């Protein structure tokens, strides 16, 4: 099949592209290589994908540019679209909320409309655990009411979920919304905590820890996230929302301990106040994904951190 992956040069997108290519599919990666973080990370990902000598095409473009999307959809008959492109991160969204709405909301409308007008019926879209906001119930279930986002980023992802439902309802498109939970692993974005902490620990510099270290996350290894995405591409779902997490909770302090052990070096802790927009806990109920997708995450945090540490110390980045 022909797959279009928006954000295909990024962290999750490159892993997904690689897996689809290995399965014999053709992949087009649409990415603007913006400067949210050093574009060389994405160029390295593209180099690795192109080295596979598989049917892979990189398309440099911006999802806010509807004409560019239409040109691409007019030139290639796509079987499915996997929409990962977005401005990411809670804290940066507080600085430029309008950018997050423009890229994440308007950009998603552009992708959905391009797919609709060119006859692509199946679209899988990345959402985020951040939509749960100040949810008082845990673990978080897709059946929970999500009406309390606490950052512009979370609000933009919640809007994307609503848009997915609208395009399913009006046009009969098959759309899955996937709520990712703190994805990590090789090729991780450098702005994310595990990567930043590892680099600072290796350099002997202090790591900024917001709060007392008790905040907890449902860390999900990237290969497990990719498994969940691929499961959606293989099923007719109508419209569904799925949590893709490990369904295990790890405190910030414990994550740092695991990094110290894997890197063989102690961290220097720089305590800082809690940040606006942050939540204390993310914790996925994955019963629905297990039942409907056969989703079964395999990589526990201890193994995942070791694999991440091996990558970041390999000299390949």
Which residues are tagged catalytic?
Answer: 153
| DSSP code per residue over the chain | -EEEEETTTSHHHHHHHHHHHHTT-EEEEEE---TTS-THHHHHHHHHHHTT-SSEEEEE--TT-HHHHHHHHHHS--SEEEE------HHHHHH-HHHHIIIIIIHHHHHHHHHHHTT--EEEEEEEGGGGTT--SSSB-TTS------SHHHHHHHHHHHHHHHHHHHH--EEEEEEE--EESTT--TTSHHHHHHHHHHHT-EEEEESSS--EE--EEHHHHHHHHHHHHTS--SEEEEEES-S--EEHHHHHHHHHHHHTSPPEEEEEPPPTT--SB--B--HHHHHHH-------HHHHHHHHHHHHTTT--
């Amino acid at each position: 099949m022909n797959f279009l992956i928006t954000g295909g040069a990024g962290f999750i997108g490159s892993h997904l592209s690689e897996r689809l290519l290995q399965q014999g599919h053709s992949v087009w990666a649409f990415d603007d290589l913006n400067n949210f973080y050093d574009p060389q990370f994405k160029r390295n990902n593209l180099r690795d994908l192109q080295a596979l000598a598989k049917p892979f095409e990189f398309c440099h473009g911006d999802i806010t540019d509807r004409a560019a999307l239409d040109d691409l959809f007019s030139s290639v008959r796509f079987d499915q679209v996997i929409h990962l492109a977005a401005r990411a991160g809670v804290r940066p969204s507080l600085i430029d909320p309008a950018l997050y709405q423009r890229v994440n909301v308007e950009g998603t409308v552009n992708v959905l409309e391009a797919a609709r007008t060119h006859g692509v019926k199946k679209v899988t879209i990345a959402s985020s655990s951040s939509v749960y906001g100040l949810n008082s119930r845990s673990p978080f279930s897709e059946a929970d009411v999500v009406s309390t986002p606490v950052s512009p980023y979370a609000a933009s992802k919640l809007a994307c979920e609503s848009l997915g439902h609208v395009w399913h309802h009006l046009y009969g498109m098959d759309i899955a919304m996937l709520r990712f939970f703190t994805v990590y692993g090789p090729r991780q974005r450098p702005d994310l905590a595990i990567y930043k902490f590892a680099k600072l620990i290796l350099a002997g510099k202090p790591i900024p820890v917001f709060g007392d270290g008790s905040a907890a996350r449902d860390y999900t290894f990237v290969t497990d996230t990719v498994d969940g995405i691929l499961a959606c591409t293989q099923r007719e779902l109508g419209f569904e929302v799925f949590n893709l997490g490990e369904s295990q909770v790890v405190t910030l302090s414990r994550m740092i301990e695991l990094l110290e052990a894997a890197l063989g070096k102690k961290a220097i802790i720089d305590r800082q106040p809690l940040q606006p927009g942050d939540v204390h806990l993310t914790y996925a109920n994955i019963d629905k994904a297990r039942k409907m997708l056969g989703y079964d995450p395999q990589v526990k945090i201890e193994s995942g951190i070791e694999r991440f540490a091996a990558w970041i110390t390999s000299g390949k980045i």
